[in-house]
Amino acid sequence: MAITTETFEQVKEVLDKLRPFLLRDGGDVELVDVDDEGVVHVRLLGACGSCPSSTITLKAGIERALLEEVPGITEIEQVF
């Protein structure tokens, strides 16, 4: 499956909706890539990068929102 520009933009929109919650806690998220298998690669920044709960934030928060709102997304992976 090829990821379209529209899909990439939808992922960015979802991340932009979640960004205020991350910023409130001193963190942020950067979209690195969306590969052809529908895997979203993100980098957690600021406090989120070193937070012990970052895996929960990534999987329970960001991934859930992306899976619900963007067709074709299969999972999320953190890059460092």
pLDDT along the chain (80 residues), means of 10: 85 96 91 95 88 82 95 93
For residue 75, what pLDDT is reported?
Answer: 94
For residue 60, what pLDDT is reported?
Answer: 84
For residue 9, what pLDDT is reported?
Answer: 96
For residue 1, what pLDDT is reported?
Answer: 58
Alpha helices in 1-80 (DSSP H): 5-24, 47-50, 54-56, 64-69
pTM of the model: 0.90
* Assigned token pair, 44: 């957690």
All structural domains of the chain, each given as residue ranges with its CATH number in brackets, are 5-78 (3.30.300.130)
* Assigned token pair, 38: 């529908």
For residue 3, what pLDDT is reported?
Answer: 78
For residue 51, what pLDDT is reported?
Answer: 78
For residue 4, what pLDDT is reported?
Answer: 83
